[in-house]
């Protein structure tokens, strides 16, 4: 047995093992460095995502406020247009009956004067005292109440729109039990908190805007109703961001 040869072979093997260990350690160090860098990138991305969500919420609130202002201006515009129409109609009739005193007297008799001065004098005419104006005001008020009382959606409408509405309702109840119990005694348009959220899933952000406008505390709604609607919308957003969890 040649011991010298055996020792040389073992020495070569040891050197080979040493080189592999160094290569292993180098690669592990590189991987550790990469992991640290990726971890920093992930944390930065998380911060950016949170910032985007926060901005999205701000934009949602801004969009809702703009929607409310737009709806109020539309109502005001329609009201003024109708008042203008009735005013023009009265002026037209006044001109048309100018040569017929009986008809002119009949026209003026419909005017509720604000003073005891001569009701036949054109200078005393105020469109806001006219019977047509009063009737128009009543009509607009009644029409506005009918519009705000219209159901945007109910359970049957939701089920017709969304095939899995029942299953989604049960899933969202299970995922949001705390909120469900908080609002379980509050019903709007026949909907509890979760059915309201399912409705938003079915009909989108526009339905959320309409419900918010309808139940705004400055209109026929209340703080509680708005809280329910906003909570339902939060549940909807959470579901839409991770639909596979439901």
Residues 141 and 168 in one domain: no
**Cα 157–163–166 angle (5° rounding)?**
80
**How far is 11 from 190, CA to CA, in rounded Å?**
86
**How far is 101 from 98, CA to CA, in rounded Å?**
7
**How far is 211 from 206, CA to CA, in rounded Å?**
9
pLDDT, residue 69, reads 84
- Is the separation of the CB atoms in 219 and 148 below 8 Å? yes
Residues 5 and 82 in one domain: no
pLDDT, residue 95, reads 78
Residue of 150, 145, 151 whose CA lies nearest to 75:
145
pLDDT, residue 148, reads 39
pLDDT, residue 195, reads 96
pLDDT, residue 237, reads 93
The pLDDT averaged over each successive group of 10 residues in the chain (246 residues) is 82 91 93 92 90 85 84 87 82 75 69 40 44 46 48 90 93 92 90 95 93 86 91 94 62
This prediction's pTM: 0.45
- Is the separation of the CB atoms in 154 and 189 below 8 Å? yes
Q: Would you state the structure tokens that stand for residue 112, as one six-digit string?
A: 């509720």
pLDDT, residue 17, reads 92
Q: Is residue 185 part of a domain?
A: yes
Among the candidates 124, 150, 176, a domain finishes at: 150
- Is the separation of the CB atoms in 136 and 83 below 8 Å? yes
| Domains identified in the chain, total number | 3
**How far is 115 from 125, CA to CA, in rounded Å?**
11
pLDDT, residue 100, reads 76
pLDDT, residue 62, reads 86
Q: Is residue 65 part of a domain?
A: no
Domain boundaries, position 10 = 1-50
Residues 204 and 136 in one domain: no
Beta-carbon count within 10 A of 177 CB: 10
Residue written as token pair 């809702």: 64
pLDDT, residue 224, reads 92
| DSSP state for residue 191 in the 8-state scheme | B
Residues 160 and 220 in one domain: yes
Q: Is residue 58 part of a domain?
A: no
pLDDT, residue 27, reads 92
Q: Is residue 128 part of a domain?
A: yes
pLDDT, residue 243, reads 54
| Integer angstrom CA distances of residue 174 from 115, 235, 237 | 67, 12, 16
Residue of 144, 109, 143 whose CA lies nearest to 129:
109
Residues 182 and 237 in one domain: yes
Q: Would you state the structure tokens that stand for residue 185, as one six-digit string?
A: 């005694």
Q: Is residue 56 part of a domain?
A: no
Residues 138 and 221 in one domain: no
Residues 166 and 216 in one domain: yes
- How long, in residues, is the chain? 246
pLDDT, residue 207, reads 93
| Integer angstrom CA distances of residue 68 from 162, 200, 224 | 28, 18, 18
Residues 189 and 206 in one domain: yes
Q: Is residue 61 part of a domain?
A: no
């Amino acid at each position: 047995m040649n011991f010298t040869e055996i020792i040389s072979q073992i020495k070569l093997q040891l050197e080979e093992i040493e080189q592999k260990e160094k290569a292993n350690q180098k690669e592990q160090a590189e991987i550790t460095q990469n992991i640290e860098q990726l971890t920093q990138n992930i944390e930065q991305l998380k911060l950016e995502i949170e910032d985007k969500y926060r901005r999205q919420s701000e934009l949602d609130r801004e969009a809702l406020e703009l929607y409310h202002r737009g709806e109020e201006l539309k109502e005001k515009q329609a009201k003024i247009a109708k008042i203008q129409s009735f005013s023009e109609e009265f002026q037209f009739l006044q001109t048309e009956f100018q040569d017929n005193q009986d008809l002119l007297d009949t026209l003026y008799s419909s005017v509720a004067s604000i003073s005891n001065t001569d009701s036949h004098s054109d200078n005393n005419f105020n469109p806001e005292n006219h019977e047509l104006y009063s009737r128009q005001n009543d009509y607009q008020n009644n029409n506005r109440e009918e519009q705000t009382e219209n159901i945007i959606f109910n359970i049957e409408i939701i089920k017709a729109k969304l095939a899995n509405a029942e299953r989604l309702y049960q899933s969202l109840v299970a995922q949001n039990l705390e909120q469900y119990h908080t609002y379980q005694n509050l019903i709007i348009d026949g909907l509890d908190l979760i059915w309201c959220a399912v409705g938003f899933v079915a009909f989108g952000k526009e339905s959320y805007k309409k419900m918010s406008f309808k139940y705004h505390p400055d209109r026929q709604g209340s703080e509680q109703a708005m809280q329910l609607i906003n909570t339902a919308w939060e549940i909807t957003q959470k579901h839409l961001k991770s639909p596979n969890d439901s």
